[in-house]
Amino acid sequence: MQKLLTSFIVLLSIQCYSQSWQSLTNLSTGVNTGVYFTDANTGFVAGDNGQIEKTTDGGVNWTMLTTGVSSHVSHLHFISNDTGYAVGANGIALRTVNGGTSWNSMNTGTGNTLPFIGSTNGSALYIAGYNGMILKSTDKGTTWTSQSSGTSQPLYGIYFTSPNTGYAVGNAGVILKTTDAGQTWSPLITGTSMQLLSVFFINSNTGFAVGGSQGSNTGVILKTTDAGATWNSQTFSNNFFGSVKFISNTLGFVTGGSITGNTSTILKTIDGGTNWTTETTSSNRQYGSHFPTPNVGYTCGLNGTVLKLTDFNSIDNLTSTNINIVVSPSPSAGFITFSGFDTQAEYYIEIFDLSGKLIQQKTVLNSNESIDLTNETSGIYFYKIKSSEKSNIQQGKLIIQK
């Protein structure tokens, strides 16, 4: 029996380690385009008919919230666990201050469709909309001012690399840039006429914009390394991309899928966008994405689909070193020993549960260090060893068997 249990746990470990994305259930049907999680387990999904659904257990169960609107809700953004925003068709602009229990309309002064809302570290809010609309609030959404974008094209996404410098993307390959907190916006030369739906920067110079052509069902990824002065493009047939997010300078994801085939595509890069590989998803076309922690990610799409990333190794990258720490035993009844540290250097050990929650952290003081997990339940856990610069230099899985 002991051998059988060991084999089962090892098999479960392999399955959990290799299965990157899982499809969540218990959601309503329809088109979901907005997803935002305030932590690994608490999050919201928005879509058709004014629907916003909430989970507090990592997507196992969902509760329909009362929004008071019936048009499509396109995008969600939270600046705290309690305060969040939703925008959408026909000028929908909602705010909650109690974690989604109730939603109240904000007076933006427009009936334009609003596909996006975001913030600059919570200090200023920006909304992107049709007819080149950009709205800004500096009082958490109480009042909004319209900014002159210089374009009449629909705008779908905004990203700020600092309080003053930001980028907006939209139809016909439009990318706008501001260096004065949105007072003025200037068009950039992108080299594409495709629709651009999402923009993300990993630092002040390097950024990405994604979208595609619905007519030709072709996806596009643009990359700049000079703060938008020039853009290089990669195209992908049978695709249309709705979201781009990076977890680190090298690890990023692009979400989308085929328009004609209604199949999902999630691309992953581990080299800063030079190369992209396709993740295994087998779902409907996806739109939005959000990564609330370095170990958990969510996407949403057609037919009420929400996908969840729970593969620890697919999130974290290792800094190349000569370190080789021996971790034993595995399986373990709860005490884990980490052997082989250089005591002249500074290291940290972090332990995570399967959901990505940090459950223990320890500063390394000796060549051999022990972690006590006897109070944890049997199952799969993960460890990370970090250097003094907080770089991940070794990581792996742990099996607790009692």
Q: Which of 82-86, 240-244, 319-323 shows the lowest per-residue confidence on average (mean pLDDT)?
A: 319-323
Q: Are 86 and 76 in contact (CB under 8 A)?
A: yes
Q: Are 102 and 82 in contact (CB under 8 A)?
A: no
Residue 252: burial class (beta carbons within 10 Å; 0-12, 13-18, 19+): buried
Cis peptide bond upstream of 115, omega within 30: no
Helix (H, G, I), strand (E, B) or coil at 79: coil
Q: Is the pLDDT of residue 7 over 60?
A: no
Cα-to-chain-centroid distance, residue 211: 16
Rounded mean pLDDT, 302-330: 72
**How many Å apart are CA 64 and CA 28, to the nearest integer?**
9
Rounded mean pLDDT, 75-80: 96
**How many Å apart are CA 23 and CA 8, to the nearest integer?**
23
For residue 20, which of 267, 390, 229, 273 has the smallest C-alpha distance?
A: 267
Q: Is the pLDDT of residue 278 over 70?
A: yes
Helix (H, G, I), strand (E, B) or coil at 80: coil
What's the pLDDT at 354?
Answer: 66
Q: Is the pLDDT of residue 83 over 90?
A: yes
What's the pLDDT at 142?
Answer: 97
What is the overall mean pLDDT for the chain?
Answer: 89
pLDDT band with cut points at 50, 70 and 90 for residue 18:
very low
Strand order across the 326-328 sheet: 326-328, 335-339, 368-372
Instruction: Specify the higher pLDDT residue, 93 or 281.
Output: 93
Q: Is the pLDDT of residue 353 over 90?
A: no
Of 7-21, 69-83, 294-308, 313-327, which one has max mean pLDDT? 69-83
Q: Which of 2-11, 35-44, 266-275 shows the lowest per-residue confidence on average (mean pLDDT)?
A: 2-11
Which amino acid, 362? K
Of 37-46, 290-299, 352-361, which one has max mean pLDDT? 37-46
| 9 DSSP 8-state letter | H
Rounded mean pLDDT, 244-258: 91
Q: Are 402 and 334 in contact (CB under 8 A)?
A: yes
Q: Which of 56-70, 96-110, 123-137, 339-353 shows the lowest per-residue confidence on average (mean pLDDT)?
A: 339-353
What's the pLDDT at 322?
Answer: 61
Question: Who contacts 14 (Cβ-Cβ below 8 Å, separation ≥6)?
Answer: none
**How many Å apart are CA 97 and CA 340, to the nearest integer?**
49
Which of left, alpha, beta for 127 (phi over 0: left; psi -120 to 50: alpha)? beta
| 49 DSSP 8-state letter | G
Question: Tokens for 378?
Answer: 């049997």
Rounded mean pLDDT, 303-318: 69
Instruction: Specify the higher pLDDT residue, 317 or 227.
Output: 227
Share of the chain above pLDDT 90, in %: 69
Cis peptide bond upstream of 329, omega within 30: yes
Rounded mean pLDDT, 368-372: 94
From residue 130, alpha-carbon distances to 118, 286, 292, 333 in Å are 16, 22, 28, 58
What's the pLDDT at 390?
Answer: 55
**How many Å apart are CA 12 and CA 18, to the nearest integer?**
10
**How many Å apart are CA 156 and CA 134, to the nearest integer?**
10
What's the pLDDT at 338?
Answer: 94
Q: Is the pLDDT of residue 380 over 90?
A: no
Domains of the chain as residue ranges with CATH? 21-310 (2.130.10.10), 326-400 (2.60.40.10)
pLDDT tens-digit series, residues 141-156:
999 999 999 999 999 9
